[in-house]
Structure 1
Amino acid sequence: PPSVDSFYQPPADYVNLSPGTLLRSRQIPSPQNVGACTRVFQLLYRSQDATGAPTAGVSTVFVPGNASSLDKIISVQSAYDSTDIDCSPSYTLRTNPTSLGEFSEISSFLSRGWSVSVPDFEGFFAAFGNGLQAGYSTLDSIRAVLQSGNITNLDPTANVALVGGSGGAIGSEFALELVKTYAAELQSQIVGALLMALVPDVNSTIYANDGTTTSGLIPLVLQGLAKQYLSFANWLSGVLLSDQAAGFFGATTECGEQFAISYVFRQSSSYLTSTSVFQDAIPQQVFQETGTMGLRGTPSQPMFYYKGTLDTLSPIAPTDALIQKYCEGGANIIYQRCTNCDHGLASYGVIAGSSWLEDRLNGIPAATGCTIS
């Protein structure tokens, strides 16, 4: 697993290299059910965390055998929602690939002749919920993939589209917000993004999930944010009930879905001093900095959003507000509000947006303005 695999450890001098530099590669066996002659590689690349400190990431790259040219790439940001590095997609895709929630999407994209990159965008410390970390790592994975032609045969001028749902949409959306300032050379190569079941802000999501079937997300997010923000980690230590600490930190040794089961219907007041502590200055500052979308200008890439009107994990109102803000800023957006769909059903956005994705990858200009339906 990644926690003990030397492949994941960057070379000593990597801190002096530019973000997105390809550091190491290896070829791994191709999983069944992804198409004949598909080749699979893993790339270690230089990136940075939310605070700007050097870090590294790994992306798993699928190259289809049936493609006439390798000039179309989908970057799939997986909703792996974990604070354990050993639950990263790069490991899951080597050991139990069909268990990855996006595996059918990956297979579908490959069948169309599109290459697929799946980055471990939470980084080596599995900083779940950290939008800046996710965005930087997603962009740097694309940089590395486009450098990998001598290994993967991918076209360095390929069109790239982003796809992500729920936790995976965090990496995709923050990448769109950051690309202008962090990876300007990718502006024209990232031709669009399909974003499903968006989670636009951490603050409202915490309150929406407290005491519900999905309340296990709250400890995961809190621990994920504490990994890169010392002030947040100190705040969390101060508000965490001492007799709850052992169970709470079990999230660092279990995959997200497995851990979350133990926190179903748990109120945060059962392990924190109060539910009101989320309004303290330190968490509010961190939520704003790395857990709130729409604060870094309007993305110039075309976007296709798909969101369920009955999404209880991330209620639709913040997504509506974000779309309105982007539309007022001149964005080119298709926004489909799936009537009576919950958070899980929003994954059908891949089906709804597949022809739109194909047009973007083929270089067909997107319609201008916003269409909401």
Structure 2
Amino acid sequence: MSYTESPAPANHLMDTVLPVRPAVVDRGSGARLKPGMVEDLIASGTAQAMVISQRKALVTEQGLWFGDALRLWEALNLAEDNPATAIYLGATLGPSSLPEGSAVLLFTVAQPPAPGTSLTPADAQWAGFREVAGRLDASDTALFIEASAISNWHATHTHCPQCGTPTDLEAGGWVRRCPRDNSEHYPRTDPAIIVTVVGPDGRLLLGGGGPTDAKNYSTLAGFVEPGESLEQAVVREIGEEVGVRVTACQYLGSQSWPFPASLMLGFTATTSDSVAKPDGVEVTRARWFSREELQAAVLSGEITISTRLSIARSLIEHWYGGVIEDLQP
């Protein structure tokens, strides 16, 4: 991550943005439109398959120095043994445990099979993304996030919203078509803004929900409402949650968080207010921090902040100007 070399002046937005992480999976949005594309990949015997169940995937331990990895299968064998519908995730790009260009399909099962069965071998376990994300490589992380997003959508959009008819899968699993009215339905993503708020003295405003004496603090966030711009959502959410008036804001970057279907859009904002008033519902506590105060509070265990998996941590460290050291266990 790139950082500013010195703290941003009060009422001045940083002109740097979060780094763009290159795609590690080619989703093949054009190729998957070919009828029978998934069936052809399975028949080729070269496609790999990932299995997901109840938002968990099979993961194998690779050892202390190598982290964990998704447990993949030969798609041909999986298709023969398990009556599930395959969804095309894409082809690998760049560094990966698979050869570059390897096609990966997704199979979804309703319940995680019991240990010792064909889909739960002794060397693998079912795990949620939060449990293992810090130990997966970039390729496996991207596949897990994509698989979570598309499987969540399929699980909740099985019928046509217009007439209630069960829909059919098309385009490699990325379109559902109603056979009755011929309407097409596509995966949805819910945009949400997530914001670092900087006061007139350069301090950062963080907040949290739940018990008022809880230690966790993070950036402020909320969903974008219909007919609202991202900037308007920033102003509204910050005003509603902590009673602070935003004077300017700047987009910095985004992170997919499909649990179940969010896209987090990161902003930094400035305000001339120095007093925050939590709404008592979504935000029960809010606190201003200087850079020195924030680092000291984290190291002492007085507070905890978002993990490095989240865009919230990236936004906080973008304001901080470097890496914030965590309290070591």
TM, length-normalised to structure 2: 0.24
Pick the structure with more helix per residue.
1
Greater RCO, CA 8 A, separation 6+ = 2
Pick the structure with more strand per residue.
2
Larger radius of gyration: 2
